[in-house]
Amino acid sequence: SMQRIMLSLDSFLVFAFMFTVSLSCTYLCPPTKNAGGKKLLGKLDNCASLEVRSALDESAARRGSSDLGGQNKASSSSGSHWTDKLPNALIVGVKKGGTRAVLEFIRIHPDVRALGTEPHFFDRNYDRGMDWYRGLMPRTLDSQITLEKTPSYFVTREAPRRISSMSHETKLIVVVRNPVTRAISDYTQTLSKKPDIPTFEELAFKNRSLGLVDTSWNAIRIGMYILHLENWLQYFRLSQMHFVSGERLITDPAGEMGRVQDFLGLKRIITDKHFYFNRTKGFPCLKKPESSSQPRCLGKSKGRTHVQIDQEVIDQLQEFYRPFNIKFYETVGQDFKWD
């Protein structure tokens, strides 16, 4: 009958429309697992629909669960359903301190869901709005912690106020490291991308013979931790901040991650049995999960051999940082033994 033909035509048109939208969204937002941060953010921003973004998040959630070798099954029974939510905790710093290691180590916990790329929301992308930021987060069970890491937040003047306006109760993880070693590591990374830059000594000092350090150079300024911390303490209680030692993260990863789990209110599931020491890289790696044939080590950009710096330069910088370090130790109630 004519009515039956019209119904069939309607069904076909609906199917054709859905297929077209699906095809265009697949083109705009391919779920590339290894996309770089900027590429991934660009693709998500150009997405044809919110439904597609949600689908990608669900796909990422499923991938995350399989990456853990089924560990997330424990959480599935206690949580009710997958939701998009803003992060409960942030790894806010510092660059070249060990933030990627902390992220990769903590995300094997079944009660943590973490964004793999750095969204740079509270420093570079704040004008995109909170809904955009929420849309980047992995889909999370009610019982799970949502986490992201962007190391530049710690040294961004506006970041504490902006994060506080999202939630006064956000937990903040700061991974710190001997500021001299951190600066050399920072310089080594920059040198690998820009071989023609001046020497470390030229950048670090205004006048080396007088011992005048150039605090305008970012590699030096980041390590003046107490100055940045004072900005954060205007908006957050010290009890909301946990400081991870980048040095102990290498020598005792299970101990450091045990304290991170305690801070986040998680059961200590990540222990010694998860780590082995990679002599080539010079730091710990995760033992291979059951679902993989390969151990999980950080990428080739991690563990680079540092540029050789004259010992006198190192001693001068150690002397420069000493008063900043002492004030930092006193404020956080922890001696990191950098002197």
pLDDT tens digits, residue range 26-76?
333 444 333 344 443 443 344 433 333 443 344 344 334 333 333 333 344
**Within a 10 A sphere around the Cβ of 224, how many other Cβ atoms?**
20
Closest CA to 139 of 80, 71, 78: 80
Q: Does 221 carry a binding-site annotation?
A: no
**Within a 10 A sphere around the Cβ of 338, how many other Cβ atoms?**
21
Using DSSP, state whether 200 is helix, strand or coil. helix
Phi, psi dihedrals of residue 12, rounded to the nearest 5°? -65, -45
Query: What residues pair up with 213 in beta bridges, in sequence order?
Result: 205
Q: Residue 174: pLDDT above 70?
A: yes
The confidence score (pLDDT) of residue 40 equals 38
Residue with tokens 């059951």: 290
Specify the pTM.
0.75
Q: Does 282 carry a binding-site annotation?
A: no
> Alpha-carbon distance 111 to 74, whole Å?
8
Q: Does 280 carry a binding-site annotation?
A: no
**Six token digits for residue 143:** 């019982």
Band of residue 288 on the pLDDT scale cut at 50, 70, 90: low
**Six token digits for residue 12:** 């076909």
Q: Which residues are the active-site residues?
A: 96
Q: Does 185 carry a binding-site annotation?
A: yes
The confidence score (pLDDT) of residue 301 equals 55
CA distances from 99 to 32, 96, 216 (A): 23, 7, 23
> Alpha-carbon distance 206 to 104, whole Å?
38
Domains and CATH numbers, the chain: 83-332 (3.40.50.300)
What mean pLDDT is predicted for residues 156-178?
98
Q: Does 99 carry a binding-site annotation?
A: yes
The confidence score (pLDDT) of residue 20 equals 43
> Alpha-carbon distance 143 to 109, whole Å?
12
Note the pLDDT tens digit of each residue in 194-207: 999 999 999 999 99
Q: Does 251 carry a binding-site annotation?
A: no
Closest CA to 149 of 139, 159, 161, 164: 159
> Alpha-carbon distance 292 to 86, whole Å?
30
Closest CA to 132 of 44, 56, 55, 60: 44
